[in-house]
Amino acid sequence: MEILLQSTSIFLLVFCRMTAFFVVAPIFASRGIPNSFKIGISAMIALLIVIIQDGNQVIPTDFNYILLIIRELLLGLLMGYVAVLIFTVIQMAGSFIDIQMGFGIVNVIDPMTGASAPVLGNFKYMIATLLFLAMNGHHYLLDAVIRSYNWMPLSNELFQKIYHGSIGEFLARLFSQAFLLSFQLAAPLVVALFVTDVALGFLARTAPQFNVFVIGIPLKIMVGLLMLLLLIPSFIYAFENLFQVLFKSLHNLFGTIGQRPT
């Protein structure tokens, strides 16, 4: 009976981490995926982890067990946030482009998240999602979250890391890296549209009879769409590098909270 109680306690802790991860993680957190599927796959993966991991861990059954649940929930949310932040880079890049093209006032509903998203950001996000699924990125994501127990077992030191500021420093560096990556993705189109603005400024000075506001908006849209058409083939390489950053960030998160398995 004691062994059954310990196994159940371990399973519930693993289930908390898996559920928190699937609530936030990209692809899996989509509104199109039923909640029953998320709970089912979380329970199935948690059961597999309990079977393959060392079951000799002693889990307290007193008030400290609530702290363990909170710690596992925070770990799952943290892993999911790191993954979704890298995907948000694509929408941030789309926002930069939309502002330059004049699409900043037009937003559409993202079916993946249910939130308002920029037009080009949503378009890039769909391409990135298809590419991520085509390269079996969701399998690598599942593999990473399962291997997280080799780095961060149930006896991890998350609260100490948060107290000492390691997690905050890691998230600050990751957010700055995400902002830089989003600007790099948007740079070709932003530069082309900026040159278009400069050309329109020279036109307004040399030929004041032209109404720059009338011809400027459709011209910038045409230039932006033409540049987007030329750059679509390069999205594959850009998104592949972005996914490498995603898995490297998860690896760095594991190293920040836990220790490399021996």
- Give the per-residue pLDDT at 128: 84
Res. 111 pLDDT band, cuts 50 70 90: low
Residue that wins the pLDDT comparison between 2 and 159: 159
- Give the per-residue pLDDT at 55: 55
- The label of the residue with tokens 């030929």 reads 207
CA atoms within 13 A on the CB side of 106: 11
- Give the per-residue pLDDT at 175: 87
Q: List CB contacts of 3: < 8 A, sequence separation 6 or more.
A: none
The mean pLDDT value of the chain amounts to 81
Out of 13-22, 65-74, 85-94, 153-162, pick the least confident.
Answer: 153-162
Per-residue pLDDT tens digits for 4-49: 777 788 888 889 989 999 888 888 877 778 888 888 888 898 888 8
Per-residue pLDDT tens digits for 152-197: 887 777 888 887 878 888 888 888 888 888 888 888 888 888 888 8
- Give the per-residue pLDDT at 201: 81
- Give the per-residue pLDDT at 182: 87
Give pTM, 2 decimals: 0.81
Check pLDDT > 60 for residue 150: yes
- Give the per-residue pLDDT at 64: 81
- Give the per-residue pLDDT at 110: 59
> pLDDT > 90: what percent of the chain?
0
CA distances 2 to 8, 170, 171, 184, Å, are 10, 39, 40, 56
Per-residue pLDDT tens digits for 192-222: 888 888 888 887 788 777 777 777 778 888 8
- Give the per-residue pLDDT at 56: 62
- Give the per-residue pLDDT at 115: 60
CA distances 260 to 147, 150, 154, 252, 257, Å, are 11, 8, 15, 10, 10
CA distances 143 to 146, 148, 244, Å, are 5, 9, 14
Which of these, 175, 86, 173, 188, lies nearest to 128 by C-alpha position? 86
- Give the per-residue pLDDT at 53: 73
d(CA 40, CA 27): 16
Instruction: Check: CB of residue 244 under 8 Å from CB of residue 135.
Output: no
